[in-house]
């Protein structure tokens, strides 16, 4: 019966369409008017053709009679008749071609001086209005007051303060060619790497004091010591963090003393993934010939990290201290997870070609590479702090540096990208394959993963059971157990929900509101505004240094100092220490 009704419905629709076409064909749709400018263009085209008709033609196309259709005809009838006359004359053998190249005529009520001569796409001109010049309250951060990005090709150096610049690139699309022979590309990158990394370390030492000081008695879930901060350096003429926080945003910007300016990719023209030193030692196939990581291992997550499953909480770390690889995952997880999850985990581990890690000459490794897998950065469902450039903007210099987020607890998170609204773990798995955001022009020659939705669904199935690390002092209501927490930690909890106003954005089981917020950090420095960034989850935050989307805050102390300044909270030294103590409990 359902099929019969469907066939009847289709027949009714077809009859209705035929009726409309019949009305149009007999010229009864008199109220239908031609699109702006098209009727006059068509008449002009036929008029041009008619000027060369032989003498004695009964109705030359250029005559007044041809220009004024009979009242009993429609514009459609007139146009068709004019085109027939032009074809019959033999002087307009390709009427469509003449119509495509027709010039706008003053008789067109929408034509004005300065209009383009050829309306080859038969579209009305765009609307344009006069608007007063404004900087949209951006002041010195407006693009008109910022320098343009320096012109540079892949592999050529860019300023470490690339966030001070603005502009657009030559194209939104990538190019799978190097622009030079492979031997020249490799020799140049290897030769320039030493000087580049010396300059990078000098720059980072000027911004941070990586002293290696630890927080006594505080460790990550797997036992790695947690570093003490803040390690960002204050300007020489600023006496203390409290003194800095007492200044206005305008004063800090004018004096150029904001310590948490954006952290850029050291080589923005090539960009792509940069792996930590500890990872490269274990996986030398991911060593780049052009640059290395710029943050010391002490200030990065532990390796290999524990892996916790929501479905087997009784086991704790299911890896027993091992890195999960394509070679051991079956033995490790067979009998613990479903067949779909096993398939998804295998795909998360399987290396595939990426923009610069692949088997072609368009690469940054000396030897051809099988590529990278999702777990090359999200090792054991966590993170090794490899960084990249966000794929949401152009040119390369405008793309924000982004740290690798953890997968732990992503079942509670819907915003899965710092700048774009990636919603759902399967979508997250789908976009991981094209970090440079150009699967079209780069995907085919390099051979990116191009995974099918059924496969990314299974990858999402596994990621959905990766759990947080245990937080024994945290109750089911996301409050501290008074009998387990110290007095300092309890004071920090009150500050978190009170004076510091953290809970306005960080609440619930993941400690995030799932929104993107514009903190307007450019109030404190001159440079290109970064716009809205997602609210990162704070659950398990002690295991995920460095912090902020680009790693500009290496420690939790730096995070607290950052927000104390930009939100003008006026926290005291002791209050900031209490707040850090609370964050370590999450």
Provide the residue-wise pLDDT of the chain in tens; the chain has 586 residues. Answer: 455 555 556 666 666 666 656 555 555 444 444 444 444 444 444 344 444 434 444 444 444 444 444 445 555 555 556 555 655 555 544 545 544 444 444 555 555 555 555 555 677 788 889 888 899 999 999 999 999 999 988 899 999 999 999 998 888 777 778 889 999 999 999 999 999 999 999 999 999 999 999 999 999 999 999 999 999 999 999 999 999 999 999 999 999 999 999 999 999 999 999 999 999 999 999 999 999 999 999 999 999 999 999 999 999 999 999 999 999 999 999 999 999 999 999 999 999 888 899 999 999 999 999 999 999 999 999 999 999 988 777 788 888 999 999 999 988 877 666 666 565 555 555 555 455 655 555 555 554 555 666 787 898 899 999 999 999 999 999 999 999 999 999 999 999 999 999 999 999 999 999 888 999 999 999 999 999 998 999 999 999 999 999 999 999 999 999 999 999 999 999 999 999 999 999 9
**Torsion from C-alpha of 276, 280, 282, 285, nearest 10 degrees:** 140
CA-based nearest residue to 100, from 81, 67, 122, 125: 122
Burial of 193 (0-12, 13-18, 19+ CB in 10 A): middle
> What are the residues whose beta carbons fall under 8 Å from the beta carbon of 568, sequence distance 6 or more?
245, 249
Output the pLDDT for position 429: 53
Angle value at C-alpha 365, between 208 and 273, nearest 5 degrees: 45
CA-based nearest residue to 321, from 339, 333, 340, 304: 304
Token pair for 279: 């990872």
In a domain, 529, yes or no: no
Cis previous bond, 532, omega within 30: no
Output the pLDDT for position 234: 98
Burial of 63 (0-12, 13-18, 19+ CB in 10 A): middle
CA-to-CA distance for 316 and 331, rounded, in angstroms?
Answer: 17
The CA R_g of the chain, rounded to the nearest whole Å, is 32
Ramachandran bin of 5, using left for φ above 0, alpha for ψ from -120 to 50, beta for the remaining angles: alpha
In a domain, 431, yes or no: no
Token pair for 201: 């370390």
Judge whether 265 and 401 are in contact, CB under 8 Å. Answer: yes
CA-to-CA distance for 554 and 25, rounded, in angstroms?
Answer: 73
CA-based nearest residue to 382, from 457, 440, 323, 340: 323
CA-to-CA distance for 457 and 581, rounded, in angstroms?
Answer: 38
Residues in the chain: 586
**Torsion from C-alpha of 420, 424, 430, 431, nearest 10 degrees:** 10
| Distance in Å from the first CA to the final CA of the chain | 59
Other C-beta atoms lying within 10 Å of the C-beta of residue 428: 22
In a domain, 5, yes or no: no
* Token pair 């060593």 in the structure block, residue: 287
Output the pLDDT for position 431: 56
Token pair for 375: 């777990």
Where b means 16+ CB within 10 Å and e means fewer, 310-333 reads: eeeeeeebbbeeebbeeeebeebb
Q: What is the separation of C-alpha 217 from the centre of its chain, rounded to a whole number of angstroms?
A: 38
Other C-beta atoms lying within 10 Å of the C-beta of residue 236: 7
In a domain, 106, yes or no: yes
CA-based nearest residue to 304, from 420, 223, 200: 223
Which residues constitute the domain of residue 110? 20-52+60-123
CA-to-CA distance for 300 and 546, rounded, in angstroms?
Answer: 6
DSSP lists the bridge partners of residue 533 as 517
CA-to-CA distance for 318 and 332, rounded, in angstroms?
Answer: 8
In a domain, 181, yes or no: no
In a domain, 430, yes or no: no
Cis previous bond, 304, omega within 30: yes
> Does residue 484 sit in helix, strand or coil?
coil
In a domain, 402, yes or no: no
Angle value at C-alpha 221, between 218 and 226, nearest 5 degrees: 35
In a domain, 459, yes or no: no
Ramachandran bin of 56, using left for φ above 0, alpha for ψ from -120 to 50, beta for the remaining angles: left
Other C-beta atoms lying within 10 Å of the C-beta of residue 556: 25
CA-to-CA distance for 93 and 89, rounded, in angstroms?
Answer: 9
CA-based nearest residue to 261, from 212, 198, 204, 301: 204
Output the pLDDT for position 300: 99
DSSP lists the bridge partners of residue 309 as 466
Structural domain count of the chain: 1
């Amino acid at each position: 019966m359902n099929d019969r009704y469907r066939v009847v419905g289709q027949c009714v629709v077809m009859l209705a369409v035929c009726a409309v076409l019949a009305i149009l064909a007999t010229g009864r749709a008199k109220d239908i008017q031609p699109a702006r400018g098209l009727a006059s263009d068509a008449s002009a085209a036929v008029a041009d053709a008619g000027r060369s008709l032989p003498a004695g033609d009964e109705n030359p196309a250029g005559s007044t009679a041809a220009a004024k259709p009979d009242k009993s005809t429609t514009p459609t009838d007139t146009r068709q008749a004019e085109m027939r006359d032009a074809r019959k004359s033999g002087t307009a053998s390709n009427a469509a071609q003449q119509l495509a190249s027709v010039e706008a005529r003053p008789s067109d009520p929408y034509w004005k001086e300065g209009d383009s001569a050829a309306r080859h796409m038969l579209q009305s001109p765009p609307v344009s209005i006069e608007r007063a010049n404004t900087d949209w309250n951006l002041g010195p951060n407006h693009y008109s007051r910022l320098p343009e990005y320096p012109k540079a090709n892949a592999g050529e150096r860019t300023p470490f303060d690339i966030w001070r610049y603005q502009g657009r690139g030559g194209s939104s699309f990538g190019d799978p060619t190097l622009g030079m022979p492979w031997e020249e590309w490799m020799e140049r990158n290897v030769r320039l790497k030493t000087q580049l990394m010396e300059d990078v370390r000098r720059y980072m030492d000027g911004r941070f004091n990586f002293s290696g000081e630890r927080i006594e008695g505080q460790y990550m879930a797997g036992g790695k010591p947690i570093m003490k901060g803040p390690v960002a350096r204050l300007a020489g003429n600023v006496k203390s963090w409290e003194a800095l926080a007492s200044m206005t945003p305008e004063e800090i910007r004018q004096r150029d003393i904001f310590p948490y300016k954006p952290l850029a990719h050291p080589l923005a023209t090539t960009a792509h993934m940069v792996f930590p030193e500890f990872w490269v030692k274990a996986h030398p196939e991911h060593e780049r010939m052009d640059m290395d990581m710029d943050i010391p291992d002490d200030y990065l997550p532990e390796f290999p990290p524990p892996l916790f499953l929501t479905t087997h909480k009784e086991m704790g770390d299911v890896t027993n201290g091992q890195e999960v690889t394509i070679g051991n995952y079956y033995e490790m997880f067979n009998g613990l997870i479903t067949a779909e999850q096993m398939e998804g985990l295998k795909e998360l581990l399987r290396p595939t070609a990426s923009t610069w890690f692949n088997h072609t000459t368009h690469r940054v490794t000396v030897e051809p590479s099988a590529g990278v897998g999702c777990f090359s950065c999200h090792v054991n469902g966590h993170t090794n702090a490899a960084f990249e450039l966000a794929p949401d903007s152009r040119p390369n210099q405008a793309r924000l540096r982004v740290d690798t987020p953890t997968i732990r607890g992503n079942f509670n998170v819907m915003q899965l990208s710092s700048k774009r609204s990636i919603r759902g773990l399967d979508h997250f798995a789908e976009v991981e394959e094209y970090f440079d955001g150009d699967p079209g022009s780069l995907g085919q020659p390099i051979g990116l993963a191009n995974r099918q939705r059924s496969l990314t669904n299974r990858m999402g199935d596994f990621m959905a059971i990766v759990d947080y690390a245990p937080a024994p002092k945290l109750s089911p209501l996301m409050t501290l157990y008074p009998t387990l927490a110290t007095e300092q930690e309890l004071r920090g909890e009150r500050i978190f929900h009170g004076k510091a106003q953290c809970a306005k954005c960080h609440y619930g089981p993941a400690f995030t509101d799932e929104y993107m917020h514009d903190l307007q950090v450019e109030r404190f420095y001159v440079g290109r505004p970064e716009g809205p960034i997602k609210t990162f989850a704070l659950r398990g935050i002690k295991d995920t240094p460095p912090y902020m989307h680009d790693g500009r805050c290496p420690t939790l102390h730096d995070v607290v100092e950052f927000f104390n300044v930009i939100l003008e909270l006026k926290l005291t030294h002791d209050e900031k220490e209490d707040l850090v103590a609370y964050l370590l409990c999450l």
